[in-house]
């Protein structure tokens, strides 16, 4: 349970006076629902005000605080012209206070003729005339000192003003408690950081609060690291059956290639982990085509050789079926019983599979998340391989880990090479193996970039390619991140291409029904269709070696990592492949740099590091795919700077006080709750 100390911060904003329906929309849009959200809604800029006694052209462009006396009103000549209040300073210099909008009653009331008022606003020139448009404060003389000289500027959304936001934030800050210190004293000292409460107030009060903000960022990174380490520690405490491969089945696999050094090394690392009596949690990173499937197969066979079962979890139906076929082929002649289970398998076939899993006659199960449904029980599940980490965040890892009846070793595979800092940030609970060596004999993929204006030529080129017996992917862009419009774009493109190439064009998109999708994929895989128009559903996995041309429409709208994955669909056979990136015409510098990088290299690890540099972590992992918790205080620079320290700090704490029972441990729990990592604290209690 969250400590009571934190309750005021976790109260809903709606309990505040005057926060009704009108404000709840803009607040929601900004993701602000609780006091703590407001407290962490840090200013993005500052307005600095200058107290002056005289109007001066030298102050044009500055925000001033000044005492003025209104002398005259001037309504606009037309209904859309502004209402002006003429006012003078003590020396008789004049300025126009300008109000747009129909209602002149309000400025008249604020600024009665002949009565001095303190006003604040940005001084501007309108021809020779000085003016202030919409003064941000107007008050009685005795209120002068209440106008802040330094005012934070907050991220806003339509329907809420900065002044209102500032008030709400102040309310939230007034409820923020003093907290016990969770940061190690030496870390705190080395940066000269203040306590949490002080730092929070400074971050909202002063533009010179870099270190205060860094401290808050550190807290967030620290809580993330601590949570990951608790996951890890909890999995260390759980018991798992050691897997001891005999080689009997592995040796029976006959493949036309020898494994790469990286593949062998990864299997050795996996075997080392699985020989322990606590569950493995290992991440296998390998670029598209680096041969992860073979590694997964060896791991699964290791479990089967030890008399246990193995399961392979794929993110989509298509991929589950493809993995199933691939593994079955690799296992031909090997005495292993492999089955598939997805949400679509129903009736008798499903019953038979469930029986086989329960009685142990099925050795390896491939499927979608259906394989972890309640109804599915295994006789002796020893290892789970999860393909495509990004759809399987730490929350899911914790859930799986907390299912007591499932204590299998876990191998998670990702085709997206992840930069080192991000690996630590998001997957710090896992061991890491990297397939950093490609199987020999790969044909390089030539990548070119072309404007969408060349569409006619591109279609001509596609025509020649398929006339020569080749196959091609045509990937359609994301339209406003919405599945409906993605589908519309893909359908429109398919229709246009069908007008030219007839039924040689197949289409798949995420909203198609399973059988329909499979049928389209099958037509492409068999060569009956030459062009596969697709949304990013083909992103992970699909393998058609004869497809040697990939056209990606709207390439500038994809993330680099995603482009790299898509590109990995070609270059799978022994023929040279081409990837054509079609771009829009209005390209930002960053977009240009990213496309240039794609043209220049095929090295996924390099692309990952560069993409992180160009776009930042939040973007890199992609909101659509990532199941990971977002950072709201720590920016990318903070993460790179502070991750190592936060990691060491968290690790030391756990080593000394694994139950987080000491005073500092209790404080650290507070930090976890503050960043809503309650589930991690939950693991502590269970453990």
Compute CA distances 79 → 6, 84, 99, 415, 573, whole Å. Answer: 52, 13, 12, 61, 71
Piece in contact with ligand ADP (CB under 6 A), picked from 156-164, 290-298, 369-377, 662-670 = 290-298
- Report in angstroms how near the CB of residue 387 gets to ligand ADP at its nearest: 8
With b meaning 16 or more CB within 10 Å and e meaning fewer, what string describes 320-338? bbbbbebbbebbeebebeb
Considering only 41, 213, 292, 390, the residue that binds ligand ADP (CB under 6 A) is: 292
User: Alpha-carbon distance 454 to 450, whole Å?
Assistant: 7
Considering only 286, 302, 315, 559, the residue that binds ligand ADP (CB under 6 A) is: 286
- Report in angstroms how near the CB of residue 263 gets to ligand ADP at its nearest: 6
Calculate the CA dihedral of residues 116, 119, 122, 127 and round it to 10 degrees: -20
Compute CA distances 532 → 300, 462, 496, 549, 551, whole Å. Answer: 32, 12, 13, 11, 10
- Report in angstroms how near the CB of residue 357 gets to ligand ADP at its nearest: 25
User: Alpha-carbon distance 80 to 463, whole Å?
Assistant: 58
Strand partners, 119: 66, 138
Piece in contact with ligand ADP (CB under 6 A), picked from 7-15, 175-183, 258-266, 510-518 = 258-266
- Report in angstroms how near the CB of residue 385 gets to ligand ADP at its nearest: 11
User: Judging by DSSP bridges, how do beta strands 309-313 and 364-367 pair with one another?
Assistant: parallel
Q: What are the backbone angles phi and psi of residue 39, rounded to the nearest 5°?
A: -60, -35
- Report in angstroms how near the CB of residue 287 gets to ligand ADP at its nearest: 7
- Report in angstroms how near the CB of residue 363 gets to ligand ADP at its nearest: 20
Give alpha helix (H) positions in 196-286: 196-205, 210-237, 261-274
Considering only 290, 316, 389, 578, the residue that binds ligand ADP (CB under 6 A) is: 290
Piece in contact with ligand ADP (CB under 6 A), picked from 176-184, 282-290, 445-453, 577-585 = 282-290
CB atoms within 10 A of CB 564: 26
Calculate the CA dihedral of residues 54, 55, 56, 60 and round it to 10 degrees: 140
Piece in contact with ligand ADP (CB under 6 A), picked from 36-44, 71-79, 174-182, 284-292 = 284-292
Considering only 70, 135, 291, 571, the residue that binds ligand ADP (CB under 6 A) is: 291
Size of the site for ligand ADP (CB under 6 A): 15
The residues in 135-194 that bind ligand ADP, with binding defined as CB under 6 A, are none
User: Judging by DSSP bridges, how do beta strands 364-367 and 471-475 pair with one another?
Assistant: unpaired
- Report in angstroms how near the CB of residue 230 gets to ligand ADP at its nearest: 31
C-beta closer to ligand ADP: residue 63 or 602: 602
Determine contact, residues 287/572, Cβ cutoff 8 Å.
no
293 part of the interface to ligand ADP, by CB under 6 A = yes
User: Alpha-carbon distance 471 to 473, whole Å?
Assistant: 7
C-beta closer to ligand ADP: residue 138 or 537: 537
C-beta closer to ligand ADP: residue 220 or 539: 539
Helical (H) or strand (E) element with 297: helix 292-305
294 part of the interface to ligand ADP, by CB under 6 A = yes
- Report in angstroms how near the CB of residue 255 gets to ligand ADP at its nearest: 7
| Chain-centroid distance, C-alpha 464 | 40
The residues in 413-432 that bind ligand ADP, with binding defined as CB under 6 A, are 415
Maximal CA-CA distance, the chain: 100
Return the structure tokens found at 455.
Answer: 């569409």
Considering only 223, 235, 260, 285, the residue that binds ligand ADP (CB under 6 A) is: 260
Determine contact, residues 520/506, Cβ cutoff 8 Å.
yes
| Nearest residue to 312 (alpha-carbon basis) of 376, 375, 372, 235 | 372
The residues in 502-561 that bind ligand ADP, with binding defined as CB under 6 A, are 543
Considering only 3, 177, 195, 259, the residue that binds ligand ADP (CB under 6 A) is: 259
C-beta closer to ligand ADP: residue 123 or 386: 386
- Report in angstroms how near the CB of residue 430 gets to ligand ADP at its nearest: 18
What is the SS3 assignment for 524? helix
Considering only 135, 289, 315, 408, the residue that binds ligand ADP (CB under 6 A) is: 289
C-beta closer to ligand ADP: residue 223 or 263: 263
C-beta closer to ligand ADP: residue 209 or 414: 414
C-beta closer to ligand ADP: residue 260 or 368: 260
SS3 for 160-206 is CCHHHHHHHHHHHHHHCCCCCCCCCHHHHHHHCCCCHHHHHHHHHHC
C-beta closer to ligand ADP: residue 295 or 497: 295
- Report in angstroms how near the CB of residue 288 gets to ligand ADP at its nearest: 4
575 part of the interface to ligand ADP, by CB under 6 A = no
- Report in angstroms how near the CB of residue 661 gets to ligand ADP at its nearest: 44
301 part of the interface to ligand ADP, by CB under 6 A = no
C-beta closer to ligand ADP: residue 37 or 543: 543
Helical (H) or strand (E) element with 322: helix 317-330
97 contacts: CB under 8 Å, gap ≥ 6? 68, 70, 84, 85, 86, 87, 107, 111, 119, 121, 131, 132, 135
Considering only 360, 439, 514, 622, the residue that binds ligand ADP (CB under 6 A) is: 439
C-beta closer to ligand ADP: residue 286 or 408: 286
The residues in 582-611 that bind ligand ADP, with binding defined as CB under 6 A, are none
What is the SS3 assignment for 293? helix
Return the structure tokens found at 156.
Answer: 């806003």
Considering only 100, 106, 126, 257, the residue that binds ligand ADP (CB under 6 A) is: 257
- Report in angstroms how near the CB of residue 289 gets to ligand ADP at its nearest: 5
The residues in 334-373 that bind ligand ADP, with binding defined as CB under 6 A, are none
Piece in contact with ligand ADP (CB under 6 A), picked from 56-64, 253-261, 392-400, 557-565 = 253-261
Return the structure tokens found at 661.
Answer: 């029972």
Considering only 32, 95, 221, 288, the residue that binds ligand ADP (CB under 6 A) is: 288
264 part of the interface to ligand ADP, by CB under 6 A = no
324 part of the interface to ligand ADP, by CB under 6 A = no
User: Judging by DSSP bridges, how do beta strands 505-508 and 445-451 pair with one another?
Assistant: unpaired
Q: Which residues bind ligand ADP (CB under 6 A)?
A: 257, 259-260, 263, 286, 288-294, 415, 439, 543
């Amino acid at each position: 349970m969250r400590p009571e100390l934190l309750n005021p911060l976790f109260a809903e904003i709606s309990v505040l006076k005057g926060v009704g329906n009108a404000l709840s929309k803009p607040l929601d849009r900004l993701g602000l629902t609780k006091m703590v959200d407001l407290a962490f809604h840090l200013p993005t800029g500052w307005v600095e005000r200058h107290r002056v006694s005289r109007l001066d052209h030298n102050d044009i462009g500055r925000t001033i605080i000044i005492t003025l006396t209104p002398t005259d009103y001037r309504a606009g000549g037309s209904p859309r012209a502004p209402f002006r209040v003429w006012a003078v300073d003590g020396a008789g210099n004049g300025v126009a206070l300008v109000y747009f909008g129909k209602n002149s009653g309000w400025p008249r009331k604020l600024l009665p003729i002949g009565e001095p008022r303190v006003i604040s606003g940005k001084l501007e020139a309108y021809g020779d005339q000085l003016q202030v448009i919409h003064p941000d404060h107007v008050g009685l003389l005795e209120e002068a000192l209440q106008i802040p000289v330094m005012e934070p500027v907050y991220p806003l959304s339509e329907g809420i003003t900065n002044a209102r936001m500032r008030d709400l934030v102040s309310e939230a800050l007034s409820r923020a408690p003093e907290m016990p210190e969770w940061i190690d004293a030496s870390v705190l000292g080395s940066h000269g950081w203040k306590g949490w409460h002080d730092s929070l107030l400074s971050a909202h009060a002063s533009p010179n609060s870099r270190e205060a903000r860094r401290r808050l960022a550190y807290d967030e990174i620290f809580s993330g690291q601590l949570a990951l380490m608790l996951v890890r520690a909890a999995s260390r405490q759980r018991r798992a059956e050691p897997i001891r491969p005999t080689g009997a089945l592995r040796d029976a696999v006959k493949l036309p290639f020898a494994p790469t050094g990286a593949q062998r090394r990864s299997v050795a690392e996996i075997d080392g982990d699985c020989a322990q009596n606590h569950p493995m949690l290992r991440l296998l990173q390998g670029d598209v085509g680096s041969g992860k499937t073979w590694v997964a197969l060896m791991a699964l066979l290791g479990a089967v050789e030890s008399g246990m079962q193995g399961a392979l979890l794929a993110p989509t139906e298509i991929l589950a079926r493809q993995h199933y076929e691939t593994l079955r082929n690799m296992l031909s002649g090997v005495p292993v019983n492999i089955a598939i289970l997805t949400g679509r398998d129903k009736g008798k076939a499903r019953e038979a599979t469930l029986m086989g899993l329960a009685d142990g006659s099925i050795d390896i199960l491939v499927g979608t998340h259906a394989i972890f449904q309640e109804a599915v029980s295994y006789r002796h599940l020893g290892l789970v391989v999860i393909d495509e980490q990004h759809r399987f965040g730490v929350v899911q890892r914790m859930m799986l880990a907390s299912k007591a009846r499932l204590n299998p070793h876990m191998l998670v595979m990702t085709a997206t090479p992840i930069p080192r800092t991000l690996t630590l940030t998001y997957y710090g609970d896992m061991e890491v193996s990297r397939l950093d060596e490609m199987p020999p004999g790969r044909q390089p993929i030539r990548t070119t970039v072309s404007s969408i204006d060349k569409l006619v030529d591109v279609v001509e080129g596609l025509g020649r390619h398929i006339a020569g017996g080749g196959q091609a992917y045509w990937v359609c862009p994301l339209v406003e991140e919405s599945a409906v419009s993605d589908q519309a774009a893909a359908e429109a493109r398919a229709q246009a291409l069908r007008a030219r190439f007839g039924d040689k064009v197949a289409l798949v998109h995420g909203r198609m029904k399973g059988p329909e999708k499979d049928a389209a994929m099958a037509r492409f895989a068999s060569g009956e269709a030459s062009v596969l128009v697709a949304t990013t559903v083909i992103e992970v996995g699909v393998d058609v070696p004869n497809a040697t041309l990939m056209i990606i429409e709207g390439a500038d709208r994809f993330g680099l990592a995603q482009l790299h994955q898509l590109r990995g669909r070609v270059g799978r056979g022994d023929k040279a492949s081409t990837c054509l990136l079609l771009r829009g015409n209005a390209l930002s510098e960053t977009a240009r740099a990213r496309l240039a990088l794609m043209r220049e290299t095929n090295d996924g690890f390099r692309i990952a590091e560069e993409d992180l540099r160009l776009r930042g972590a939040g973007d890199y992992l992609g909101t659509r795919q990532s199941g990971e918790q977002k950072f709201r205080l720590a920016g990318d620079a903070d993460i790179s700077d502070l991750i190592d320290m936060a990691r060491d700090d968290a690790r030391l704490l756990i080593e000394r006080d694994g139950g987080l029972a000491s005073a500092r441990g209790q404080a650290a729990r507070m930090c976890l709750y503050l960043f809503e990592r309650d589930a991690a604290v939950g693991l502590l209690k269970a453990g």
